[in-house]
């Protein structure tokens, strides 16, 4: 794990450093020429800030993903290397966007690059969720980014939120948190209703208030 973290941090650090190479100090003999020179490199400044923000965001996601791992296998290593491949290309597409900001080809290429980078990181995260033997401890729903099914009627009846079988299975969550597909109500204005897992006791219903005779 130490070698994987060192390689990942090193690639991100080098990519962040290479972004600044596209920024050149303008040659100026007066204040007016200096202002004009700074304005001329404004697209490069924007692309640098954008690229640095993108790299910082993906580094945070990668650090969080790797923090859950206790060990890795060959597939997890290749998925991480695939992500680093797209990271190392980001200075090139960022420089292309800064040099040709009005060209549709440069914008489309940059967008496709970010899409591929996001898919690579997402594939690595899904692989980690589906292989709980690699993680240090079970990943809870909040860390996995899962959103439980919970309607207003469930909250009133005291029912705990539950998750779809695919979500719970991918994140290694216990079967007690699964939603029973047979008892899910059809979509309505209040959202789907989740039932308790099979074998778990049903929550007690609140007592009804006595009706008045008058």
Q: Which residues of 3-29 are buried (b: 16+ CB within 10 A; e: fewer)?
A: eeeeebeebbeebbebbeebeeeeeee
pLDDT bucket at 22, cuts 50 / 70 / 90:
confident
Q: Is the pTM of this model over 0.75?
A: no
81-98: pLDDT as tens digits = 999 999 999 999 999 998
User: What region, left, alpha or beta, does residue 158 occupy, with left being phi > 0 and alpha being psi -120 to 50 degrees?
Assistant: left
Q: Tell which residue, 53, 63, 64, 55, has the closest CA to residue 14.
A: 55
Do 177 and 196 share a domain, yes or no?
yes
pLDDT of residue 214: 43
CATH number at residue 91: 1.20.120
Whether the pLDDT of residue 193 is over 50: the answer is no
Is residue 121 a contact partner of residue 59, using CB atoms and an 8 Å limit?
Answer: no
Do 92 and 152 share a domain, yes or no?
no
Examine the fold and report which residue of 134, 160, 184 is the final residue of a domain before the chain moves on: 134
Q: Is residue 211 part of a domain?
A: no
Examine the fold and report which residue of 115, 134, 153 is the final residue of a domain before the chain moves on: 134
**In total, how many domains does the chain have?**
2
Identify the top-confidence range among 29-33, 43-47, 74-78, 156-160.
74-78
Q: Is residue 177 part of a domain?
A: yes
The domain containing residue 87 runs over which residues? Answer: 2-134
Do 125 and 165 share a domain, yes or no?
no
pLDDT of residue 90: 94
Helices 42-67 & 31-40 angle (0-180, nearest 10): 50
For residue 166, what is the enclosing H or E element? helix 165-171
pLDDT bucket at 140, cuts 50 / 70 / 90:
low
């Amino acid at each position: 794990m130490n070698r994987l973290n060192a390689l990942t941090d090193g690639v991100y650090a080098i990519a962040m450093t290479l972004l600044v190479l596209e920024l050149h100090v303008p040659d100026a003999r007066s204040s007016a020429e200096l202002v004009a020179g700074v304005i001329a490199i404004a697209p490069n400044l924007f692309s640098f800030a954008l690229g640095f923000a993108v790299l910082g965001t993906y580094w945070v996601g990668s650090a969080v993903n790797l923090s859950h791992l206790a060990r890795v296998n060959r597939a997890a290593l290749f998925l991480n290397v695939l992500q680093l491949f797209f990271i190392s290309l980001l200075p090139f597409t960022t420089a292309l966007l800064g040099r040709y900001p009005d060209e549709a080809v440069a914008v489309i290429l940059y967008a496709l690059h970010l899409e591929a980078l996001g898919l690579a990181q997402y594939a690595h995260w899904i692989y980690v969720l589906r292989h709980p033997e690699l993680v240090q401890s079970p990943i809870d729903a909040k860390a996995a980014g899962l959103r439980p099914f919970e309607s207003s009627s469930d909250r009133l009846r005291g029912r705990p939120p539950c998750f779809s079988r695919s979500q719970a299975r991918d994140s290694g969550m216990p079967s007690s948190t699964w939603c029973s597909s047979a008892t899910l109500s059809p979509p309505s204005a209040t959202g789907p209703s989740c039932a308790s897992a099979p074998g778990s006791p049903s929550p007690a219903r609140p007592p009804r208030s006595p009706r008045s005779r008058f």
